Structure 1
Amino acid sequence: MKQLLYCVLVLLFSPALVASEMPLNMTKGVTDISGQVYSLHMIILYICCAIGVVVFGVMIYAMINHRKSKGAVAANFHESTKVEILWTVVPFLILIGMAIPATKTLIAMEDPSNADLTIKITGSQWKWHYSYFDKDISFFSLLSTPREQIDGQQAKGENYLLEVDKPLVLPINRKVRFLMTSDDVIHSWWVPAFAVKKDANPGFINEAWTKIDKPGVYRGQCAELCGKDHGFMPIVVEALSEADFDAWLIAQQQQASQAEAAAQAALSQTLTMDELMAQGEQVYLARCAACHQPNGAGLPGVFPSLIGSPLIKGPVAGHIDIVVNGKPGTAMQAFSQQLTATEIAAVVTYERNAWGNDSGDTVQASDVSNNAATPSSDADAASDSDMSNATTLPANLPAEQAQAEVTSEVQQAALLDDLTMEQLMSMGEKVYMTSCVACHQATGAGLPPAFPSLVGSPVIKGPVADHLEMVINGKPGTAMQAFGQQLTPQEIAAVITFERNAWGNDSGDVVQATDVDGHGK
């Protein structure tokens, strides 16, 4: 009997005693905070195991020693005040015992004051941008796993999907403060070895910090569902000694100067079609294939195909402009700060001649530079024309006040525009594919239960006013953001019209900008 009880106790206690050696247990990390988190984890584990030993020990003892075969007769009692007080006070004390160290750790995790170095981290689909404050150093960090491994054409490497072209470099023994935000959807910067996991939200700045104890390479990844290539957004941090980090800073500043000089020299170079195509393919697979696919076919309804598209068939200047400056209102980013003029020239040449496009166009770095230096005259002229037609600046007002009044009058005039169902659906689809598709998917099916489906949902079947309210002001306690400050009334009207009539919803509801403006009032 005693041997059986001892065996049971060993089975209950052994997981906790050897947990620190288990490969699946939480790691200690390389920072003081990660050490505190690990210690807290182990304390809670031991407490849970102790509770399990007591509870199951009493149960096993009662079942063995008070079984019917031994002639035991169950006692008949109830309403024991002492027992009720005991099983209320004891759990309360246990919770207090766990809350005290947990609170201390949480307070320490949220204290980024007195930092030696501040780095801004910006997430975007699907890469990270790092900016070192007061150091004039910034760069993008992208997945560097070869496309052949992703497509299954090669064996997967040791750090498959956890390797980047340029890691974040940090010093040890210095407190580093992180400022995190996003250019598009919600991302999450997570490095387990630092015990740092913080969301990067568009329009907001979140803070975190770390102080690394040991040099080395530490890996993490985006821990928020940020779109179809969420798994292709790794984080690699290289921790250097203080002396090596200072040397790295100097080297980076020198490289930046050399890169600028090389970029200027490249403007006078003329590359052959073969050279442009070879370099362009590399740039395309690294920067563009995630959206437009390696074969250029895109994802219809989300990312347009580049095979025989109007962009490819149109003027080269328009193609360069969209790569350099992006396209507002869509997922197309501006690459002017991410690629050199030579790289942009190469990728534009590649896109215009790959996959059977065969336009024969070759673009040089000088063409990119000239295009970037030339403003979009048509758009500017149209904007100036709209402004001049809308109103005239009063001569007796300060320039800022007069411009504000002009903008206000133009916006109010736009609210009076009644668009047709077709116009609203076309605009709404574009807005949806830019601002909503990451959560609710291109088909409107969502990702239940995290992101609800919009196909025949209560929101769609309900009053238009409730739909407006949710899009404008968001829904507290959920991932639904407020778009009142992110979209214009016309865009909100269009996307609501689209949602209420797409995917078979066919409500027939038409929402205008004046409805949105009236709802806001």
Structure 2
Amino acid sequence: MTRMLLWVSALLFVPTSIAADMPLNLTRGVTEISNEVYDLHMLIFYICCVIGLLVFGAMFIAMYKHRKSKGAVAAKFHESVKVEVLWTLIPFLILIGMAIPATQTLIKMEDPSDSDLTILVTGSQWKWHYKYLDQDIEFYSVMSTTQDEISNKADKGEHYLLEVDKPLVIPTNKKVRFLMTSDDVIHSWWVPAFAVKKDANPGFINEAWTRVDKAGTYRGQCAELCGKDHGFMPVVVEAVPPEEFDSWVVAQLELNAQAAAQAAADLNKTLSMDELMSQGQSVYLANCAACHQENGKGIPGVFPSLIRSPVINGDIAKHIDIVVNGVSGTSMAAFGSQLTDTEIAAVVTYERNAWGNNKGDSAQAADVAGVEPAVVVEPEVQVAQAEAKPAEPLAPLTMESAMAEGEKVYLAKCSSCHLPTGTGVAGAFPSLIGSPVIKGPASGHINVVVKGVAGTGMMPFASQLSPREIAAVVTYERNAWGNNSGELVTEEQVQAQSGQ
């Protein structure tokens, strides 16, 4: 406490340039916006300090000069209109004076227009996925700090918990627009040097931007409590000169082509059990051990054990499908886009033969390649891009097509709250099985989906889903899980109700 008071006292009497180097103060960062945020922070800080000095100074002077021991007698008076006006007007003017520069900075921070590069940032438990929408480049960025360092079996490195296998690369002196979303829970992408901290919410797209003037490596981390390994989700950004960035893009495209060729070649390879087990163990420790633990026992009540589990003892094709496509409504992510066919075959083989499972069977890359990937609803920005292109007219919805399309929309947009089974979460999200909304008029059901319900967790979906998607998901909810209303909701009903 004493140290904090000394630091604040010193900060009051030093120039801003010196205050920026103090360890407990906000840092300037490396972008124009981060410098504006710092200047705004110092301006508000000094205003608050002046107010504090005046108020407490006047209070202590009054207490000293008009103390009882000097014979002071308290004055007796009623309300003064002048005093009331003054102590209302002065704080109001101070707040207005503080709000003007703050608003100007906030408006700049929220203006991603005229960007030179757009990157889709997707949070997953517990890694970041980056997709360059202007180039055919995407990859996962995973923490590279070793387990030995984390478990104190080895000395901690310089960038402990703030290092990744593949950093995000951006060009300097270019405006880079970030689109933030999530595959599962709420994450938050935070790089202090950029003054960028934006939540990544499932089903939503948030925007942020930066323009880095100085080349270098900048580090951050997830700033939203997102689960068990929240502390192991770092962000590393490398800002490089534009010409170096162009070379990096070319190199990445070449690596993508080589990876595609290698994947095609792997389809004709047959690995031995020893090769599969060795590679599978490496893949498992890097991608699966965070949830299921190194010994495969999982975490009771949270992540299932893999030791003689129904999945392990079941059909190997189903096991592969779960690894490729994940399990909707659970924490089991889809690894089809994160791992190669060979890596998936290896980790499936490892899981079926490690920790005493000893199934004796194995998978090969060709087995994985034959698994159909699950249909994934693209993030809102990609949907918007697709809608901008001329599309062939779709056939009118039938009950069969509405149920099929509605299920996809439901699993992508609704199942995280109401669960894939429609049973909801008691006390948090209502069940959809036989609920008043489902049993009531279809118009009321449509209205809830289109406009949401104020004061609850039910958000409006009018801006996220097309009339056809809303019609399909409402039809699905009214006929799934034994509801069986027999009603087919049409696009025309949704359009009429939403004013489209």
TM-score bracket relative to the smaller structure: 0.7 to 0.9
The structural deviation recorded for 1:436 is 4.6
Match of 1:405 among 398, 410, 420: 398
SS in 2 for 1:221: strand
Query: Which residue in 1 is equivalent to 2:380?
Result: none
CA contact (8 A) 2:273 2:362 kept: yes
The structural deviation recorded for 1:97 is 0.8
Query: What does residue range 61-460 of structure 1 map to in structure 2 within 5 Å?
Result: 61-369=61-369, 371-372=370-371, 400-401=394-395, 404-407=397-400, 435-436=416-417
Query: Which residue in 2 is equivalent to 1:504?
Result: none
CA contact (8 A) 1:13 1:49 kept: no
Aligned pair in 2 of structure 1 residues 162, 515: CA closer, same or farther (>3 Å)?
farther
Query: Which residue in 2 is equivalent to 1:451?
Result: none
CA contact (8 A) 1:16 1:45 kept: no
CA–CA distance in structure 2, aligned partners of residues 160 and 289 of structure 1: 19
Aligned pair in 2 of structure 1 residues 287, 94: CA closer, same or farther (>3 Å)?
same
CA contact (8 A) 2:438 2:478 kept: no
SS in 1 for 2:160: coil
CA–CA distance in structure 1, aligned partners of residues 476 and 186 of structure 2: 24
CA–CA distance in structure 2, aligned partners of residues 196 and 288 of structure 1: 30
SS in 2 for 1:339: coil
Q: Which moved more, 1:95-104 or 1:356-365?
A: 356-365
Query: Which residue in 1 is equivalent to 2:381?
Result: none
The structural deviation recorded for 1:322 is 2.0
Query: Which residue in 2 is equivalent to 1:16?
Result: 12
Q: Tell me, which stretches of 5 or more residues in structure 2 are unaligned?
A: 375-391, 420-424, 440-444
The structural deviation recorded for 1:87 is 0.9
The structural deviation recorded for 1:141 is 1.0
CA contact (8 A) 1:212 1:239 kept: yes
TM norm structure 1: 0.74
The amino acid of 2:11's aligned partner reads P
The structural deviation recorded for 1:155 is 4.1
SS in 2 for 1:21: coil
The structural deviation recorded for 1:40 is 0.5
The structural deviation recorded for 1:92 is 1.1
CA–CA distance in structure 2, aligned partners of residues 375 and 101 of structure 1: 50
CA–CA distance in structure 1, aligned partners of residues 404 and 100 of structure 2: 54
CA contact (8 A) 2:324 2:373 kept: no
SS in 2 for 1:217: strand
CA–CA distance in structure 1, aligned partners of residues 452 and 85 of structure 2: 45
Which whole-Å deviations, capped at 9, do the CAs of 1:316-352 have from their partners, x for residues lacking one? 2222222223334433332222111111111111111
CA–CA distance in structure 2, aligned partners of residues 255 and 330 of structure 1: 33
CA–CA distance in structure 2, aligned partners of residues 128 and 492 of structure 1: 36
SS in 2 for 1:44: helix
The amino acid of 1:401's aligned partner reads A
The structural deviation recorded for 1:288 is 1.5
CA contact (8 A) 2:418 2:430 kept: no
CA contact (8 A) 1:489 1:513 kept: no
Aligned pair in 2 of structure 1 residues 25, 479: CA closer, same or farther (>3 Å)?
farther
The amino acid of 2:173's aligned partner reads N
Aligned pair in 2 of structure 1 residues 177, 284: CA closer, same or farther (>3 Å)?
same
Query: Which residue in 2 is equivalent to 1:423?
Result: none
The structural deviation recorded for 1:72 is 2.6
CA contact (8 A) 1:66 1:72 kept: yes
SS in 2 for 1:307: coil
Q: Which moved more, 1:87-96 or 1:258-267?
A: 258-267
CA–CA distance in structure 2, aligned partners of residues 125 and 516 of structure 1: 38
Query: Which residue in 1 is equivalent to 2:388?
Result: none
SS in 2 for 1:143: coil
CA contact (8 A) 2:429 2:457 kept: no
Aligned pair in 2 of structure 1 residues 256, 143: CA closer, same or farther (>3 Å)?
same
CA–CA distance in structure 1, aligned partners of residues 274 and 9 of structure 2: 67
The amino acid of 2:10's aligned partner reads S
CA contact (8 A) 2:122 2:181 kept: yes
Which whole-Å deviations, capped at 9, do the CAs of 1:123-175 have from their partners, x for residues lacking one? 22222111112211110111222223334444443333222211111111110
Query: What does residue range 46-65 of structure 1 map to in structure 2 within 5 Å?
Result: 46-65=46-65
| Identical positions, percent | 61
CA–CA distance in structure 2, aligned partners of residues 115 and 104 of structure 1: 19
The structural deviation recorded for 1:78 is 2.9
CA–CA distance in structure 2, aligned partners of residues 306 and 464 of structure 1: 37
CA–CA distance in structure 2, aligned partners of residues 409 and 57 of structure 1: 71
Q: Tell me, which stretches of 5 or more residues in structure 1 are unaligned?
A: 1-8, 377-397, 415-429, 439-443, 445-453, 496-510
Aligned residues: 442
Query: Which residue in 2 is equivalent to 1:450?
Result: none
The amino acid of 2:114's aligned partner reads N
CA–CA distance in structure 2, aligned partners of residues 175 and 399 of structure 1: 37
The structural deviation recorded for 1:308 is 0.7
Aligned pair in 2 of structure 1 residues 434, 302: CA closer, same or farther (>3 Å)?
farther
CA–CA distance in structure 2, aligned partners of residues 11 and 301 of structure 1: 47
The structural deviation recorded for 1:474 is 6.1
CA–CA distance in structure 2, aligned partners of residues 464 and 367 of structure 1: 43
CA–CA distance in structure 2, aligned partners of residues 326 and 26 of structure 1: 41
CA–CA distance in structure 2, aligned partners of residues 494 and 15 of structure 1: 63
Which whole-Å deviations, capped at 9, do the CAs of 1:260-280 have from their partners, x for residues lacking one? 222222233333322222221
Query: Which residue in 1 is equivalent to 2:43?
Result: 43
The structural deviation recorded for 1:249 is 1.2
